[in-house]
Amino acid sequence: MRLIIYTCPGHQFSEFVPWLINNSPDVTHSQQWNEDSIWTPYESSFGEGWEPAESQWTIADDMLRGTYKKVARDMKSTFPENWFRLFMQTCVDTDVRCIFVNNAPQNIPTWTAQCRLWFAENHPTVDVEFAGHTLDLRGLANPSLYFIKEGYIFDDDGYVYDDHDEEGAVLDYIAKNLTGAPNIRARIKNKHAGRQTELLKMYNYSKFEYVTDTNTIVDNQCLYEHIAEIITPPNNYDDLVADYWSRNKPNDRLDDYLRTLL
């Protein structure tokens, strides 16, 4: 059995890549793809973006599928042994699976080490590989794509986007900042450092097998080549990518403003 664990923080095209991997003809699918329920909307004052349900359709057991996001997927500092123990009971030796884990950079070394150890002790014949990507906000042609997904968090923190502000003061500098940064400019710089420089350090420390960045992901040909290094790309790769980007449009005015802060 081969298990690809795709790990990175959320809102940086995080579900997009494991979704493409899970559309590979090599991957074991436990249920049919449901086109009507796969897309999750992210709506806020910053706009609207969409991410696909990247892993649920490869999980055979209803209970495990229902607990996947709560127990295994989102922001866990320790490896969820019990969930993976039950998950592995639904797999067979010939399976190829990809599971996405949304995790903070500081959690990745511990989570990854615990995962590798657990599989070595309990399923030593399973080929476990780790993949992920960093967020290069400074290099990204359209950083607004990230902030549209992050927008509901910024709204809750008091940074409300106003596309009609004639003076271009897009975000509230005075609002309370939960990360400790003195203003939105510092917060964005901290975000770039955390999800590019620090995250890359965590990937390298944890010896991830496959690592790329968002500049590759927004380039369709480069992303295809990256996917091909991991697995056979989907037969309908072009259609899937076109569908994803049709649902995720940048905001040019917000892009211009964000570049002044980066």
Q: Mean pLDDT of all residues in the chain?
A: 84
Q: What is the pLDDT of residues 49-91, one digit of tens each?
A: 998 877 777 787 777 777 887 777 777 789 999 999 999 998 9
pLDDT of res. 177: 38
pTM across the whole model: 0.88
- Show me where the domains of the chain are located: 2-138+198-249
- Of the given ranges (54-58, 238-242, 251-255), which has the lowest mean pLDDT? 54-58
Is residue 170 scored above 60 in pLDDT?
no
Dihedral angle, C-alpha 8, 31, 241, 196, nearest 10 °: 0
Confidence of residue 176 (pLDDT cuts 50, 70, 90): very low
